Amino acid sequence: MSQAAPRAKAGAGVQRRSEITRARILQVSQQLFSQNGYDATGVAEICAAAAVSKGAFYHHFPSKQAVFMTLLEGWLAALDEQMLPLLEGARSVAEGIQQAASITGLVFASASGQLPMFLEFWRESSHDPLVWQATIAPYRRYQELFASLVRKGIEEGSLRPVDPNSAARTIVALAFGLILQGVIDPHGADWGEVTQNGIRLFMEGLSK
């Protein structure tokens, strides 16, 4: 449709057309994957929803799976961006973990529409080695991060001498379990609040 617009030198921020297309494909894919699942979402469906031809789709992505992987990587990167500074910059161990929990609450509020993607990622990762690799690495990183945090707390004397690895895995389990429940039963509770309470309870068992 061309739309004249000779140029709009606006220069700044003008995404190249192709970038817009690419972004639209990603956004629409995320929505559809969340809504109907990965397998159930067809490439044609994505194209229709993104108002893009199949040719354009395959120009930007080599496969449907590649779209999925891109989404996954973006998801993990965003998580890191929010999570890591909080944990690493925490003054005390308890504070760090508590703050991480509050982030989880935020995740519930903001990303509730895309939460089902979490399930898609995990399910896919148990079948697809490529997805597994992308999922497991950050997962282990978080686990070790929590473990070292607990270890530090024990050394400092603020935490009871528990097994740091078990504790870390338990914390991760808590987070995953809450997300899982949030996915299936979004209106069953104020999940942000439940998270806060749960972590607090847990931390009280952990503290001296």
Partner DNA sequence: ATTTAAATACCGACCGGTCGGTCTATTTTT
Partner DNA sequence: AAAAATAGACCGACCGGTCGGTATTTAAAT
The C-alpha atoms of residue 135 and residue 137 are separated, in whole angstroms, by 6
Residue 2 binding result from a second copy, DNA, none, given CB thresholds of 5 to 8 Å by partner type: DNA
The C-alpha atoms of residue 35 and residue 33 are separated, in whole angstroms, by 5
The C-alpha atoms of residue 134 and residue 136 are separated, in whole angstroms, by 6
Residues 20-59 that bind DNA (CB under 7 A): 20-22, 39, 41-45, 51-56, 58-59
Q: 31 or 98, CB closer to DNA?
A: 31
Residue that the structure tokens 């397998």 belong to: 39
Q: How many CB atoms lie within 10 A of CB 196?
A: 16
Give the range of 15-23, 158-166, 170-178, 184-192 binding DNA by CB under 7 A: 15-23
Alpha helices in 4-128 (DSSP H): 17-36, 43-50, 54-60, 64-88, 93-110, 115-125
- Partnered with residue 159 across adjacent β-strands are 207
Tokens of 107: 């995740």
Give the range of 69-77, 78-86, 95-103, 113-121 binding a second copy by CB under 8 A: 113-121
Q: Is 113 in the site for DNA (CB under 7 A)?
A: no
| Interacting residue with a second copy among 39, 80, 88, 155 (CB under 8 A) | 39
Residues interacting with a second copy, by CB under 8 A?
36-37, 39-40, 116, 119-120, 122-123, 125-127, 132, 135-136, 139-140, 162-163, 165-167, 169-170, 172-178, 180-181, 183-185, 188-189, 193-194, 197-198, 200-206
